[in-house]
Structure 1
Amino acid sequence: MIKSKRRPFEDTSSGSLQDLSFLLIVFFIVIAGFNVNKGFVLNLPSKEKPKVVQQNDLIKARLNADGTLILSGKNASLEELCTALQEKQKEWPNMTFLLSINPETPYQNVVDVIYEIRNLNIENFCFKMEDSV
């Protein structure tokens, strides 16, 4: 009987696996550092301290199902809304903007209004969905 000699374990065979695992670790560390688009960041009031809004500090607008914007009972464009809110914000710094949204309103119209409100730096902003009939 002839004994076969075993070859010693070669370290080079696991080298490529180590390189691959190192590259994957570096890849995930780099990817974790990218900023993620968070959408609209809205600060919600706490349950312990509900905010009381005076009726004369409240400005109401409504988005209809067809996407039209109604401000003070009249149809208004997005630009007209922005100018009206800028004027009111100068008069009433504690102004609160309330947006009533019809459930059938196109989503992009809602996003457009919220985007403009955030650009105007209106701190007190709330919206509600109207009851669908």
Structure 2
Amino acid sequence: MIRRCRRGIEDAGSSGSLNDLSFLLIVFFIVIAGFNVNKGFLLNLPEKEKPRVVNSQDLMTCVLLSDGSISVKNEVMDPSALEEKIFAMKQSFPNMTFLLLVSPQCPYQRVIDVIHSVRLCGVENFSFRMETQQ
């Protein structure tokens, strides 16, 4: 007697090649998809070999105090007055550098507001640092 064995129909889900193909398609579409990413601050850092020297006349120093107030040369001002002062200095010194000294207790939103004002005035040279606690 000859037995004839019939092969059972294979389940399509058990096929490894289809799983590989679907995985590759998913990866392909993720790679070619365009993502809109908020890039945040784009900063060009100076090279170590070429230190930058800033003329003291071209430097505008602004201090953000712990209560969020803005001080320029010991004069407290509001953000609109700061923009006017930056714009006036930018007219006198086109290569001006804006230095922002930030108190550690200063609200973060105030720092963002000042940076936004500086960008609106077209200042290209910008530096900031945290003040040390005393």
TM-score w.r.t. the length of structure 1 is: 0.83
The percent of aligned pairs where both chains have the same amino acid is 39
The aligned amino acid for 2:127 is C
Across the aligned residues of Structure 1 and Structure 2, the Cα RMSD in angstroms comes to 2.6
Q: Which moved more, 1:13-22 or 1:80-89?
A: 13-22
> Which of 25, 28, 34 is the equivalent residue of 2:27?
25
Shift of 1:71: 1.4
Classify the secondary structure of the residue corresponding to 1:70.
Answer: strand
The match for 2:109 is: 108
The match for 2:86 is: 85
The match for 1:38 is: 39
Shift of 1:58: 1.1
Counterpart CA distance in 2 for 1:50 and 1:12 is 62
Q: Which moved more, 1:85-94 or 1:12-21?
A: 12-21
TM-score w.r.t. the length of structure 2 is: 0.82
The match for 1:55 is: 56
The aligned amino acid for 2:116 is Y
After superposition, the C-alpha distances for 1:54-101 in whole angstroms (9 at most, x for unaligned) are: 212211110011111111211111111111111111111121111111
Counterpart CA distance in 1 for 2:120 and 2:91 is 15
Classify the secondary structure of the residue corresponding to 2:37.
Answer: coil
The aligned amino acid for 1:112 is D
The aligned amino acid for 2:81 is E
The match for 1:70 is: 71
Classify the secondary structure of the residue corresponding to 2:116.
Answer: helix
Q: 1:12 to 1:111 in 2, by over 3 A?
A: closer
Classify the secondary structure of the residue corresponding to 1:97.
Answer: strand
Long gaps (5+) in structure 1: none
Long gaps (5+) in structure 2: none
Q: Following superposition, which runs of at least 4 residues in structure 1 exceed 3 angstroms of deviation?
A: 7-23
Equivalences, count: 132
Classify the secondary structure of the residue corresponding to 1:50.
Answer: coil
